[in-house]
Chains A and B, each alone.
Chain A
Amino acid sequence: MTADVTGPARGSSPASVRTRALTKRFRHQTAVDAIDLEVPAGAVYGFLGPNGSGKTTTIRMLLGLIGATSGEIEVLGEPMPGGASRTLRRVGALVEGPAFHPYLSGRANLARLDAADPHSDARTAPARIDAALDRVGLLPAATKRFRAYSLGMRQRLAIANALLVPRDLLVLDEPTNGLDPQGTREVRHLVEELAADGTTVLVSSHLLSEVDQMCTHIGVMFEGRLVTQGTIEAMHDQARSVDQAVRVETDRVDDAATALRGLGLTDVRPSGGHVSARLGEVEVAKIVPALVDAYVPVLGFTVVRPSLEDVFVSLTGEGFDVSG
């Protein structure tokens, strides 16, 4: 690879993906509600949200698979779906899980998709296909039929397809779905490698922990709306600004609760063996002396800093409910 990292293909727009008031309605239901997505060039953008929050619908619109009800989409500087034929060859995509011909081998499936690409070079196809298979660790199973692949192998094959030709943007919808922890780590390394080469990556997930470690930017979808979007640092700042909590372990729960309330802590919850409360503006250093003054034996004391996960949950709610 040459040292030229600016490349000729990059448009003048600094954003690889940008939408304005993008909306998709299916009959009565608004699947995507006026979102303004902004994926800066070179970013690894974690597109988060619970199942059914509109991530895949958004991704399908970005790729021109479904039309928007209203709003605008720009991918790599070109409007979509109008510029699909020019844009999409610079975009590698994994959409809603792998799908291939069951009776063809992994290699034959990739050869078929490569043949469908009007711009790909037939002469380099065998080498490119094997390099892509090798990159996702699938080369030993290249001649196996797709139907004999495990879910993890299928997922890898779909990623290999996205890597058949050099891309400026990779759109990976739930790429770690069905992968074991080892496979998940490999995908994360792969994404980091690609990002280091300058490829912009939009990776969706319903698990924050998966993308937290590789993303530079995060956007959170909830019930069709983009509830927050920004750099990962900004998200961590937001996490810090969320109320910290304290937890006191003691055998005199009620006295401890009274003392904490007296200090001005809120949401004081006594339970068997410990009391938890929101810190608010109270100084951490004052708490233990106050407890001791109240003759509360302090058996343990913890300050709970909210994680990014807590921010995520505070935005999207908890539990297994699939949003409408």
Chain B
Amino acid sequence: MSAASTTGGTDVLVGGRPDRDIPRTGRALPLRFLRSELSIIFGRRRNVALLAVLAAIPVLLAVAIKLSSDGDQGGGGPGFFEAITSNGLFVAFAALAAELPLFLPLAVAAASGDAIAGEANQGTLRYLLTIPAGRTRLLLTKYAAVVIFGLVATALVALAGVVAGLALFGGGDVILLSGTTTSLLDGVGRLALSVLYLSACFAALGAIGMFVSTLTEQPIAAIVATIGVNVLMFILDQIPQISWLHPFLLVDHWAAFGDLLRDPMATDAIGQGLLVALAYAAVFMTAAWARFGSKDVTS
């Protein structure tokens, strides 16, 4: 093994009892576990397929609009669809808006619901815990991987949108929703901010998924439940009679990323959205920690 040869002179002690204390080198390398987690999440065929679907949607969107661009039917979303024909960059925004209710949450739910329940289902959880990976450390590492997966998924949608949009509709100066004109580079910057904002929102959804994942040994059940919570919030958000509840719903703030396309940027709704996301993440990660920290692992 070429990999082994790099450690050439190191005396390798397998089994047996230690002649010296086990070296405490690991403290400096908390990223090794995270890297390993990420390689498992991104190496999973189901997740790769999900990412492929997420990336295909902006392309489909761009092609569909290109083919029917004669007739001007404004679609949903905060006014992105009409703008697409004038600047390809808007394909990315429109795609984010289109995937916001279901597809992106599905990706986050798939990763977070699987996090603990998947390991429990496989039986690998007991081996991770006897390593000992540490329950809190395991939970936080898994969560970090989920947050990164959400960020990558969101960025991928934006990137696919930019590539497809610029290829089909071209770039140039961007006319913002408030009517002012700005450079393409500024538009890309605003897109990047949108991706970061939505990733923060999805991180909160991921915390819900992590909590649900500590409740069951069935990963599919945890994923479906997380999606269910997401859909339920969207439904509640549609009922005007309970408008007092809307500001407390995680999903109520997601569409606010459109505010980043105004000049000057309207940050009120964004700030509120971030606060709500932070509150959800804190509450559900605390709940997950409390549940997982004392749970009997019998799988």
Q: Which residues of A contact B3 (CB under 8 A)?
A: 126
Q: Which residues of A contact B130 (CB under 8 A)?
A: 63-65, 88, 91, 93, 95
Task: Report how far A193 CA is from B16 CA in the complex, Å.
Answer: 8
Question: Which of A60, A119, A161 has the most chain B CB atoms inside 10 A of its CB?
Answer: A119
For residue A166, CB closer than 8 A to chain B, the reply is: yes
Q: 7 nearest interchain CB pairs?
A: A99-B123, A166-B18, A126-B3, A115-B36, A197-B16, A88-B132, A66-B296
Q: Which residues of A contact B45 (CB under 8 A)?
A: 103
Min CB gap B119→A, angstroms: 9
Nearest residue (CB) in B for A197 is B16
| B108-152 interface bits toward A, Cβ cutoff 8 Å, 1 = contact, 0 = none | 000000000000001110111111111001100000000000000
Min CB gap B8→A, angstroms: 9
| Interface range on chain B (Cβ under 8 Å from partner) | 35 or more
> In the complex, given contacts A9-B21, A65-B296, A90-B22, what are 18 additional A-B residue pairs having Cβ atoms less than 8 angstroms apart?
A63-B130, A66-B296, A88-B131, A89-B131, A95-B126, A100-B122, A103-B44, A112-B40, A116-B33, A116-B133, A116-B138, A117-B133, A118-B134, A121-B26, A122-B29, A164-B14, A166-B19, A167-B17
| Interface range on chain A (Cβ under 8 Å from partner) | 35 or more
Task: Evaluate contact between B133 and A118: CB separation under 8 angstroms.
Answer: yes
Min CB gap B29→A, angstroms: 6
Task: Evaluate contact between A199 and B17: CB separation under 8 angstroms.
Answer: yes
Task: Report how far A314 CA is from B4 CA in the complex, Å.
Answer: 52
Binds B, one of A127-135, A211-219, A264-272: A127-135
User: B-contacting residues of A (Cβ < 8 Å)?
Assistant: 1-2, 4-5, 7-9, 60, 63-67, 84-85, 88-93, 95-97, 99-104, 111-113, 115-124, 126-128, 130-132, 135, 158, 161, 163-168, 170, 190, 193-194, 197-199
Task: Evaluate contact between B7 and A120: CB separation under 8 angstroms.
Answer: no
**A128-B12 contact in complex given A9-B21, A89-B22, A112-B40, C-beta closer than 8 Å:** yes
Interface residues of B in 58-93 (CB under 8 A from A): none
Q: Which residues of B contact A126 (CB under 8 A)?
A: 1, 3-4, 6-7
Task: Evaluate contact between A111 and B36: CB separation under 8 angstroms.
Answer: yes
Q: Which residues of B contact A101 (CB under 8 A)?
A: 40, 122, 124
Min CB gap B264→A, angstroms: 46
**A168-B18 contact in complex given A66-B296, A126-B4, C-beta closer than 8 Å:** yes
Task: Evaluate contact between B132 and A89: CB separation under 8 angstroms.
Answer: yes
Tell me what chain B mostly uses at the interface: helix, strand, loop, or mixed: loop
**A167-B15 contact in complex given A84-B132, A95-B130, A119-B22, C-beta closer than 8 Å:** yes
Interface residues of B in 1-42 (CB under 8 A from A): 1, 3-4, 6-7, 10, 12-27, 29-30, 32-33, 35-36, 40
List, sorted by A's number, 11 A–B pairs whose CB atoms are closer than 8 Å: A7-B19, A65-B126, A113-B127, A119-B23, A126-B3, A132-B15, A165-B18, A166-B13, A166-B15, A166-B18, A198-B16
Task: Evaluate contact between B19 and A122: CB separation under 8 angstroms.
Answer: no
For residue B241, CB closer than 8 A to chain A, the reply is: no
Task: Report how far A186 CA is from B23 CA in the complex, Å.
Answer: 30
Task: Report how far A101 CA is from B27 CA in the complex, Å.
Answer: 25
Min CB gap B73→A, angstroms: 45
Min CB gap B67→A, angstroms: 39
Nearest residue (CB) in A for B30 is A118
Q: Which residues of B contact A96 (CB under 8 A)?
A: 123, 126
Q: Which residues of B contact A118 (CB under 8 A)?
A: 26-27, 30, 33, 133-134, 137
Min CB gap A158→B, angstroms: 8
Task: Report how far A67 CA is from B3 CA in the complex, Å.
Answer: 40
Task: Report how far A193 CA is from B17 CA in the complex, Å.
Answer: 11
Nearest residue (CB) in A for B124 is A99
Min CB gap B245→A, angstroms: 38
Task: Report how far A115 CA is from B7 CA in the complex, Å.
Answer: 17
